[in-house]
Amino acid sequence: MSLVQRSNGRPYAKLASNLFAIFCGTCMWLCIATLVLLLWNIFSHGWGRVSFDFISSPPSIIFPEKSGIRPALGGSIYLIGLTALFSVPIGVGTAIYLEEYAPNNRWRTLVQTNIANLAGVPSIVYGILGLGLFVRALNLGVSLVAGALTLTLVILPIIILSAQEALRAVPHSIRTASHALGATRWQTIWHQVLPAALPGMLTGVILALSRALGEAAPLVAIGAATYIRNVPSNMFTDEFGALPLQIYNWTDHSDKDFHVAAAGAIVILLTVLISMNALAIVLRYRFSKRIQW
Amino acid sequence: MPANLEANLHLTDVLPHAADELSALAQKVATKAVDFFYGDHQALHGISLGMPIHRVTALIGPSGCGKSTFLRCLNRMNDMIEDTVVRGEILLDGEDIYRRGADVVELRKRVGMVFQKSNPFPKSIFENVAYGPRVAGIRDRGVLNEIVERSLKQAALWDEVQNRLRDSALQLSGGQQQRLCIARALATGPEVLLMDEPASALDPKSTAAIEDLIFELKETYTIVIVTHNMQQAARVSDQTAFFFEGQLIEVGATNELFTNPREKQTEDYITGRFG
């Protein structure tokens, strides 16, 4: 009797609740299944191809089984190193200015909104900007520096936003306490705020660099080499390749054996990406162990 | 009402003495007609208050009466809040701290502050206390050790932490953290100590420890304390100032103000009729 009365008002409430839970669960499993399928597909094709020779040999136009990724991997590593060199100081500096110095006015809001919007701009657009600005106007040519500067444009908004987030997470009472002890603004930022924000910043930086590592479109746009025999030795003049470009080049090939090489290169790319993410987690853990609120 | 009369007679017998003693002392900090604005909102109206040297001045009043705002004017912590304006004069040893070219960093070394919520840095106990001297440019290890030990002793914390100076300050209990914050404020060698409800988040035992400490510290420092706790104000302070709606309603020797307030509003507040 009481049961009937209670369910009278919303007879389908419990059913709707269960259906919704099932729907959400299905979505999650779809995601996982897709990911597993993708990884299985790549690893089953490419794993057999991964070897020391594969990593240390240059690619070949004619022999897929002799092809390696040395120039592409080398190019990618240089590219990420340079990108980090350009993007981290600029990104962290911008974040510190916006969070710690900029007065809270309309101008700041405008800049803030624009940075958030820039994070959503497709990377190919930055590629075209990089082609016009770095390759041509600044006459850097299709070089590692031009490529790294272009990738810097791509990931700068992400680095700024994540660094701001990390700075905002530092309790305000720490800044107040530091100022009350006669510390200058710079001393407060350097001795208190930055060490506390470092774990969060590092995570953001590494995730942004992972994104840069996987980018092909902006590099294609500035005209980076999809086929190259050597690791670049001069960052201002030499042509360069990158792993995503090598993969793109091989998957486009008519010879099916090159697709296997592409799968092998993807395995390497994924390994590097996962290692970078693992590093982010380890660093965050180690730094946050030192700083406990 | 003979009983009342008798009480009054008794008070007049004792109290002018306390008031005379206070007014005879030099004023370490003095404000003259201080107005304070948060944007369009005026939070303080013409506050003139002298704080005698080596004495404790308590600022009391209901929430939002401006006592904390006033306290934060004394070491210019309000500078950090955007869109605020201070008018009038605030004198430290006779010099206006808001004068053009005044060094805020130097001021804050001379006027230390302890906050309502203890806010130790997420660093070791040692580093917390050494931070002030360090940012002031002291590098010498021996000197730093000495300052840290002396400050922790002054804050009655040395015995509890001397064997664990390298431990994180955040492992200390709430009361210990607050005494650490006091030690940290003392380490810069201030002349004035501002305390913003330093014991409001602590248990009775820690509160008593802080109050004993204040009593000892006033030998060396001039202390200004904001408190919600009337008994605390009565226990620790020599002079009490009652704030209400941004005005300084009454100021006097503590025992005088609590036993024989001149203003009706003060009496209503200290007898618990409002606030």
The answer to whether residues A96 and A165 belong to one domain is: yes
Cα B188 to Cα A275, B69, B176, distances in angstroms: 46, 23, 19
Hey, is B73 helix, strand or coil? helix
A232 vs B35, higher pLDDT: B35
> Does residue A64 fall inside a structural domain?
yes
Give the range of the structural domain holding residue A17, as residue numbers without chain letter: 13-49
CB contacts, 8 Å: B77 with chain A: 176, 179-180
The answer to whether residues A77 and A114 belong to one domain is: yes
The answer to whether residues A44 and A57 belong to one domain is: no
ipTM of the modeled complex: 0.86
The answer to whether residues A232 and A120 belong to one domain is: yes
Residue A111, H or E segment: helix A106-118
Average pLDDT of span A95-109: 92
The closest CB to that of A173, out of B109, B119, B131, belongs to B119
Residue B252, H or E segment: strand B247-253
The answer to whether residues A160 and A36 belong to one domain is: no
The answer to whether residues A79 and A217 belong to one domain is: yes
The closest CB to that of B80, out of A179, A181, A291, belongs to A179
Residues B253 and B238: beta-carbon distance below 8 Å: yes
* B186: closest chain A residue by CA: A181
Distance CA A86, CA A104 (A): 27
The reported pLDDT for the residue numbered A3 is 52
Cβ distance of A291 and B122 shorter than 8 Å? yes
What band does A9 get if pLDDT is binned at 50, 70 and 90?
Answer: low
The reported pLDDT for the residue numbered B14 is 47
The closest CB to that of A180, out of B75, B136, B168, belongs to B75
Cβ distance of B105 and A191 shorter than 8 Å? no
The answer to whether residues A165 and A184 belong to one domain is: yes
Is A180 an 8 Å CB contact of chain B? yes
The answer to whether residues A34 and A177 belong to one domain is: no
Is A178 an 8 Å CB contact of chain B? yes
Which of B132, B124, B177, B181 minimizes the C-alpha distance to A188?
A: B132
The answer to whether residues A172 and A272 belong to one domain is: yes
**Best-predicted range by mean pLDDT (A31-35, A196-200, A271-275):** A31-35
- Give the burial string for A39-55 (b: 16+ CB within 10 Å, else e): eeebbebbeebbeeebe
Let me know the angle formed at the C-alpha of A180 by A176 and A184, rounded to the nearest 5 degrees: 85
* A190: closest chain B residue by CA: B135
Q: Environment class of residue A223 by beta-carbon count within 10 Å: exposed (0-12), middle (13-18) or buried (19+)?
A: middle
The reported pLDDT for the residue numbered A281 is 85
The answer to whether residues A75 and A111 belong to one domain is: yes
Cβ distance of A176 and B131 shorter than 8 Å? no
List for chain B the helix, strand, coil content (%; round to 5): 45, 25, 30
The closest CB to that of B122, out of A103, A184, A196, belongs to A196
Average pLDDT of span A10-32: 92
The reported pLDDT for the residue numbered B254 is 92
Cβ distance of B181 and A177 shorter than 8 Å? yes
Hey, is A42 helix, strand or coil? helix
Distance CA B52, CA A75 (A): 71
| Residue A212 in this model has a pLDDT that exceeds 60 | yes
> Does residue A1 fall inside a structural domain?
no
* B118: closest chain A residue by CA: A173
Average pLDDT, chain A: 88
Is A103 an 8 Å CB contact of chain B? yes
Distance CA A63, CA B242 (A): 91
| Residue A162 in this model has a pLDDT that exceeds 50 | yes
> Does residue A7 fall inside a structural domain?
no
> Does residue A217 fall inside a structural domain?
yes
The reported pLDDT for the residue numbered B3 is 47
Distance CA A251, CA A97 (A): 44
Q: How many domains does chain A have?
A: 2
Residues B60 and B269: beta-carbon distance below 8 Å: yes
Q: Which amino acid is at B228?
A: H
Average pLDDT of span A14-42: 94
Q: Which amino acid is at A139?
A: N
DSSP code, position B58: E
Is A187 an 8 Å CB contact of chain B? yes
CATH number at residue A127: 1.10.3720.10
Average pLDDT of span A124-145: 91
* A193: closest chain B residue by CA: B121
B102 vs A228, higher pLDDT: B102
The reported pLDDT for the residue numbered A292 is 53
Distance CA A168, CA A162 (A): 10
Instruction: Tell me chain A's radius of gyration from C-alpha atoms.
Output: 24
What band does A291 get if pLDDT is binned at 50, 70 and 90?
Answer: low
Distance CA B120, CA A171 (A): 11
Question: What residues pair up with B168 in beta bridges, in sequence order?
Answer: B124
Average pLDDT of span A209-215: 92
Across B93-144, the runs of DSSP E, i.e. the strands, are: 95-96, 111-114
> Does residue A3 fall inside a structural domain?
no
The reported pLDDT for the residue numbered B224 is 96
Cβ distance of A181 and B184 shorter than 8 Å? yes
List for chain A the helix, strand, coil content (%; round to 5): 75, 0, 25
Interface of B with A (CB under 8 A): 75, 77, 80, 82, 105-106, 108-109, 112-113, 115, 117, 119-122, 131-132, 134-136, 168, 170, 181, 184-185, 188
Distance CA B15, CA B259 (A): 10
Half-sphere exposure of B79 (CA within 13 A, CB side): 17
> Does residue A19 fall inside a structural domain?
yes
The answer to whether residues A180 and A41 belong to one domain is: no
Q: How far is B258 from chain A (nearest CA, A)?
A: 32
The answer to whether residues A33 and A75 belong to one domain is: no
Q: Which residues of chain B have pLDDT under 70?
A: 1-17, 274-275
> Does residue A5 fall inside a structural domain?
no
The reported pLDDT for the residue numbered A109 is 93
CB contacts, 8 Å: A184 with chain B: 105, 135
Q: Environment class of residue B99 by beta-carbon count within 10 Å: exposed (0-12), middle (13-18) or buried (19+)?
A: exposed
* A185: closest chain B residue by CA: B105
Distance CA A104, CA A83 (A): 30
The reported pLDDT for the residue numbered B11 is 46
The reported pLDDT for the residue numbered B273 is 73
Strands B111-114 and B192-196: parallel
Distance CA B201, CA B204 (A): 10
> Does residue A8 fall inside a structural domain?
no
Is A41 an 8 Å CB contact of chain B? no
The reported pLDDT for the residue numbered A141 is 86
Suggest the residue from B82, B92, B119 to mutate for an interface test with chain A (most A CBs closer than 10 A): B119
B259 vs A228, higher pLDDT: B259
CATH numbers and ranges of domains, chain B:
2-270 (3.40.50.300)
